[in-house]
Amino acid sequence: MFLQSKNRNRFFISGAWVSPQGQQQYHNVINPADGQVSGSVSFGSAADVDLAIQAAFDAFPEYSTTTVEFRIALLERICAVYERRSDELAEAITIEMGAPFHQLSRPLQASVGLWHFQAALAALKDFSFETQRGSTLITKEPIGVCSLITPWNWPMNQTVCKVAPALAVGCTMVLKPSQNAPYSALILAEIMEEAGVPAGVFNLVNGEGRKLGQQLASHPLVDMVSLTGSTQAGASLTIAGADTVKRMSLELGGKSANIILPDADLEQAVRHGVLHMMSNSGQSCTAPSRMLVPHALLEKVEEIITTVCSEIKVGDPMDPETTMGPMANERQYNLVRELIQVGIDEGAKLLVGGIENPVKDNAGFYISPTVFTQVDNTMRIAREEIFGPVLVVIGYDSEEEAISIANDSIYGLSGYVHSSSPARAKAVAKRMRTGMVHLCGAPIDINAPFGGYKQSGNGREWGASGLDEFLETKSIMGAL
């Protein structure tokens, strides 16, 4: 079992597991299912980050010139090792952030990392690094050393959609995973080692984000920063990287609108919206957290929501029957409960849920599926990213008003439209100011560009777009 691994208190730098520089600093990892310490990891210092960045810098000249065939073979080996250790990754994810093992960690949280490696591999096989336009040769070249900073809510998804394309195009990197979800990232480093990733190409240092993030963003040997996190973190790291004019690829917050049009199958649309919102305990940046419904249908919508929420089983994430686990950590648990109280104080109708822990006599960080109706889009609960199992329902009178409410947000990551007419749904989607829109319950497309408008970030991840993000463009004129 990984929790007994000696690598928990070491970092992976220059192809080897090394102890922290200087005095050892331990960080307890809390199991959100019971609030107890599951183990500890070592935290790195500025010296550890310097060592990792130098290793990536030293490895870049050779790795950046490897052939496509070499990198294809490398990704194939990584996929094989990853698949073999997938169940172990799923268990680590459940222990570190509370996703239900049987319902979410194994089938999706761990599996999506493999899918991203496979998508990057497929994109690499078809990718053109050179294009001739007249007498000019246009080449795509790896950008250089990359700092990758990842969150706790989808540990492998958010990590591998950076690591895989960076490896595919010839970049070297330093990964700093969330301090709250370090176990799965350490297993990933072991996968890199076993698959034979060249020394210095992939490096990992654990540590506190507020301390190490600034260094990873400002270091003169780093060429690019890829962050998934809060909008505030994205702004802070952009400032830190400004003096050296780094490329910043930012996947940040969201407050996605789910427009249910009057002609939609109401039962199907509302059920899908509620279950999608509550998946992963609402801790997804693309969660459909604002449900927009016609005023005339609100009473029926409330009935459906009440029924669906009663079917969600909150509890121990290792229980096969559990469909919603705890919040990932105590800080997020407290923030979500505070915002639920804000919604009550603002005068919204609390339809279901609330601030009470639904798992009695348990120190875990559990929150019931919570839904507010009679919400105005000016309320805090309609404007702020709650990042928990809290859905707000907003009424509208016309399609124009629905689109206007959907776009009235500082965020623009994802959106959802339900209609019995695909053409109508698509027309509404085109008017939404978001980087992605799901029509009539469409699932994610692992090969489609992932990213947002406005304060939801910049840049795109996933598939071929993910490869492009880690490349520079060079024009060689007169290259006949």
CA 423 to chain centre: 30
- Which are the contacts of 123, defined by CB distance < 8 A and separation ≥ 6? 165, 168, 447, 463, 464, 466, 467
Does an H or E element contain 320, and which? none
Those residues whose C-beta lies under 8 Å from the C-beta of residue 435, and which sit 6 or more positions away, are: 412, 413, 414, 449, 450, 451, 452, 453, 456, 460
Q: Is 25 in the same domain as 157?
A: yes
Q: Looking at 91, 190, 251, 469, which residue is catalytic? A: 251
Q: Which domain holds residue 354?
A: 257-454
Compute the distance between CA of residue 382 and CA of residue 168 in angstroms, rounded to an integer: 40
Q: Are residues 160 and 173 in the same domain?
A: yes
Classify 82 as helix, strand or coil.
Answer: helix
Question: 217 with 73: CB under 8 angstroms?
Answer: no
Are 242 and 273 found together in one domain?
Answer: no
Q: What are the tens digits of pLDDT across the range 139-188?
A: 999 999 999 999 999 999 999 999 999 999 999 999 999 999 999 999 99
Mean pLDDT of the chain: 97
112 closest CA partner among 133, 83, 142, 72 = 83
Q: Is 251 a known active-site residue?
A: yes
Question: Do residue 326 and residue 263 come from a single domain?
Answer: yes
Judge whether residue 38 has pLDDT over 60.
Answer: yes
- Are both 231 and 266 inside the same structural domain? no
Distance from C-alpha of 145 to C-alpha of 143, rounded to nearest angstrom: 7
Write the pLDDT tens digit of every residue in 120-146: 999 999 999 999 999 999 999 999 999
Residues in a beta bridge with 130: 139
CATH number at residue 329: 3.40.309.10
Has residue 216 got a pLDDT over 90? yes
How would you classify residue 275: left for phi > 0, otherwise alpha for psi between -120 and 50, otherwise beta?
alpha
Instruction: Give the tens place of pLDDT for each residue, 334-376.
Output: 999 999 999 999 999 999 999 999 998 889 999 999 999 999 9
Same domain, 203 and 329: no
Query: Token pair for residue 318?
Result: 């290792």
Give tens-digit pLDDT for 375-393: 999 999 999 999 999 999 9
SS3 assignment, position 405? helix
Which pLDDT tens digit goes with each residue over 458-471?
A: 999 999 999 999 99
471: tokens are 């490349």
Residue 251 has pLDDT above 60, yes or no: yes
Whether 114 and 202 share a structural domain: yes
Q: Is residue 68 domain-shared with residue 205, that is, in the same domain?
A: yes
What's the whole-number mean pLDDT along residues 276-287?
A: 98
- pLDDT tens digits, residue range 43-63? 999 999 999 999 999 999 999
Please give the pLDDT value at position 275: 98
- Residue 1 above 60 pLDDT? no
The confidence band for 24, taking pLDDT boundaries of 50, 70 and 90, is: confident
N-terminal to C-terminal alpha carbon distance within the chain: 58
Strand-pair partners of 324? 314
User: Looking at residue 12, which CATH number applies to its domain?
Assistant: 3.40.605.10
Three-state secondary-structure class, residue 120: helix
Find the DSSP H helices in 136-262. 155-169, 183-195, 209-218, 231-242
Is the pLDDT reported for residue 435 higher than 60?
yes
Number of domains in the chain: 2
Distances (CA, A) of 367 to 59, 278, 328: 46, 11, 11
| Amino acid letter, residue 266 | L
- pLDDT bucket at 3, cuts 50 / 70 / 90: low
Residues 461 and 448 in one domain: no
Q: Could you list the beta-strand ranges (E) of 211-289.
A: 224-228, 247-251, 257-260
